[in-house]
């Protein structure tokens, strides 16, 4: 796929040359060229004849301003929607981590079970949709990528734990489950690291958190 640099809202990003982008570039370019031509027309006109190019120039200026304003408003709206979905997803993941068997206390006796998984669909969508600014949202983007990677590793660990628990001999199950429980809840275990990063993300995204 062809990629071209596009300067928009003060940032230079690389975007695929899609039909939508071609339409935006063609529309904006045509308006700019028409405005320049009208400006020369106005400069060469005299008397009452200058009113027509002046009116044309004002109309074109309004059109250019409208295109830019619409783009900025649409970008802000998409960003707000994406971050709202991310916040909801992070709160849902926090509820999972606060429930057995992941809760710090009251986990009870370890048993064979299929663990609930953490999800990252909203985070993936936000990272892939280019709604986050490469400069203003750089720290947030880094945090979301780190969270996604941690969740992926954690879910894989849960899958391995389930396999180990359900395939162990009957006389070894209790010891295996105890080891898995201790590994999850140890001070340097995955749950502590997940909660720490999750809380930092929620503090950045949710002022009421």
C-alpha 206/C-alpha 91 separation (Å) is: 10
Confidence at residue 111, expressed as pLDDT on a 0 to 100 scale = 85
Confidence at residue 103, expressed as pLDDT on a 0 to 100 scale = 86
User: Where do the structural domains in the chain lie, given as residue ranges?
Assistant: 3-205
Handedness of CA 161, 164, 165, 167 (dihedral sign): positive
Confidence at residue 20, expressed as pLDDT on a 0 to 100 scale = 57
Bridge partners, 16 (sequence order): 3
- Cα-Cα-Cα-Cα torsion 95, 99, 105, 107, nearest 10 degrees, comes to -160
Confidence at residue 88, expressed as pLDDT on a 0 to 100 scale = 95
pTM for this predicted structure = 0.68
CB 125 within 8 A of CB 82: yes
Confidence at residue 202, expressed as pLDDT on a 0 to 100 scale = 94
Confidence at residue 114, expressed as pLDDT on a 0 to 100 scale = 92
Confidence at residue 142, expressed as pLDDT on a 0 to 100 scale = 95
pLDDT digits (tens, 9 = 90+) for 50-65: 566 666 666 766 776 7
Which regions of the chain are under pLDDT 50? 1-13
């Amino acid at each position: 796929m062809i990629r071209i640099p596009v300067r928009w809202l003060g940032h230079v990003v690389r975007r695929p040359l899609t039909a939508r982008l071609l339409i935006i570039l063609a529309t904006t370019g045509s308006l700019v060229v028409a405005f320049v031509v009208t400006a020369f027309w106005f400069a060469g006109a005299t008397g009452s004849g200058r009113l027509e190019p002046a009116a044309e120039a004002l109309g074109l200026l309004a059109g250019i301003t409208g295109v830019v304003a619409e783009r900025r408003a649409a970008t802000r709206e998409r960003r707000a929607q994406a971050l709202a979905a991310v916040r909801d997803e992070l709160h849902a993941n926090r509820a999972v981590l606060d429930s057995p068997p992941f809760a710090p206390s009251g986990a009870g006796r370890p048993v064979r079970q299929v663990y609930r998984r953490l999800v990252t669909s909203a985070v993936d969508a936000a990272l892939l949709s280019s709604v986050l600014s490469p400069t203003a949202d750089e720290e947030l983007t880094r945090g979301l990528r780190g969270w996604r990677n941690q969740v992926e590793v954690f879910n894989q660990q849960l899958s391995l734990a389930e396999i180990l628990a359900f395939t162990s001999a009957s006389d070894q199950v209790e010891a295996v489950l105890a080891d898995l429980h201790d590994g999850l809840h140890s001070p340097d275990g995955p749950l502590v690291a997940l909660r720490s990063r999750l809380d930092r993300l929620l503090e950045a995204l949710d002022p009421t958190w």
